Structure 1
Amino acid sequence: MNKAFTKEDDGSTPERLPDLPISPHPNHVTPQGLARLKARHAALEAELARLREGRDFLDDLHPLAVAERDLRYVEARLNTAILVPPPTEATDQVRFGATVTVADEDGQESTYTIVGEDESDPAQHLIAAFSPLARALIEARVGDIVEWPKPTGMVELEVLRVTYRD
């Protein structure tokens, strides 16, 4: 093919990276999760503006493409966010957004907060609502024993406390 009919990449337009996968689960968010998504959106917009300003000096347009892809993801998550505020009345029942203290069979206590997928961080004991542990806990009440299916076997947990953040 004659070179005159081919389009060469002159580097003026960053490659468009494929979109990040969007979860099939409902996008429930706590008020804190929604605030974090909005803050992340603002930070990505600022980062994009900074990258576009200094574009003449960029040797690699990949950071710009990554920031654009990440912004598309955050915008999609904000557009599908379903805000779930904490209960208005005191309750001892575990629901989305609850912070739950449990004790295992050995009496070892742990505390978990049931949050949206974008907020989840198991290392910080923030667990996604569709995780096996959250599914075991949701609708339980203080004093209930729940069964948590783990790869190593079933674990029984007693619900000790249930609180909600404002």
Structure 2
Amino acid sequence: MSKAFTREAETQEDDEVALPALPAGGKNYITPQGYARLRAELLDLIDNERPKVVDVVHWAASNGDRSENGDYLYGKKRLREIDRRIRFLTKRLEIAEVTDPSLHHGNEQVFFGARVTYADAAGAERSVTILGIDEADSARGEVSWISPIARTLLKARVGDQLKLVTPSGVQEIEVVEVAYPVPAERA
């Protein structure tokens, strides 16, 4: 068997989409804004990015020798990346359960979508927003609803003392504030 055929089999395995694990029986919760962002990215890939790359690959293929044609080789690689991302987004959007956190506006109990401020034993306060797996960005203070801090905070109320299990041991934290986005009709 030639080397070309074995290489193709290797790249097929790489194309499989591995979704981040959800808890057993869990759902893929996402806010309406997060769903809209993922959907917009998917549509942009399908309607804009992929057709442009297909045009470049088609043009490069028409130039002849494909084995040393950088535009063709890079274009084919980029096309695989785009297709992989399209498959990933499609699967994630299919299993997404859109949950509007503004429904809990004014509530003091922590649910999905809450902006929670908590204090540790030393009195240092931190704030996190509990969001979906596909939309959380730790650089902006957003955590996934399946993260350890979110699991500790969920269903707690303002003033509750909680035990947060961390790699360095158990920490005592207290819920200081819970806030939700204002519903659209009140905004």
Q: Do the structures match in fold with TM over 0.5?
A: yes
Aligned positions, number: 156
Q: Contact between 1:19 and 1:73, CA under 8 Å: does it hold in 2?
A: no
2:77 is the counterpart of 1:62: yes
In the alignment, the residues of structure 2 paired with residue 106 and residue 88 of structure 1 have an alpha-carbon distance, to the nearest angstrom, of 30
Aligned to 1:106: 122
Aligned-pair distance for 1:121?
2.0
Matched, 1:49 2:51: yes
C-alpha change, 1:155 and 1:88, in structure 2 (3 Å) is closer
Gaps of 5+ in 1: 10-14
> What RMSD over aligned residues (CA atoms) do the two structures have, in Å?
2.0
Contact kept, 8 Å, 1:120 with 1:127, in 2: the verdict is yes
Residue in 2 aligned with 1:12? none
Give, in whole Å, the separation in 2 of the partners of 1:43 and 1:165: 28
Q: Which amino acid aligns with 2:20?
A: S
Partner-residue secondary structure (3-state), 1:148: strand
Per-residue deviation at 1:20?
2.1
Q: Which moved more, 1:17-26 or 1:75-84?
A: 17-26
Please tell me whether the aligned partners of residues 115 and 129 of structure 2 are also in contact (alpha carbons under 8 angstroms).
Answer: yes
Which structure is higher in helix share? Answer: 2
Structure-to-structure mapping, 1:15-94, within 5 angstroms:
17-25=14-22, 26-45=27-46, 46-55=48-57, 56-57=59-60, 58-60=71-73, 61-86=76-101, 87-94=103-110
Work out the percentage of aligned pairs sharing the same amino acid.
35
Question: In 2, Cα distance between the equivalents of 1:59 and 1:52?
Answer: 10
1:103–1:132 Cα change, 3 Å? same
Change (3 A) 1:100 1:88: closer
Inter-partner Cα distance in structure 1 for 2:108 and 2:116: 10
Q: CA deviation at 1:156?
A: 1.3
Using structure 2 for the length normalisation, give the TM-score. 0.76
What is the distance in 2 between the residues matched to 1:96 and 1:158?
18
Q: Which residue of 1 aligns with 2:141?
A: 125
AA paired with 1:32? Q
Three-state SS of the structure 1 residue aligned to 2:72 is coil
How far the C-alpha of 1:90 sits from its partner, in A, is 2.0
2:15 aligns to what SS in structure 1? coil
> Where does residue 156 of structure 1 map in the other structure?
172
The CA deviation string for residues 82-121 of structure 1, in whole angstroms up to 9 with x for no partner, is 0011225520000011110111111111110111101122
Change over 3 Å in CA distance of 1:102–1:88 after alignment to 2: closer
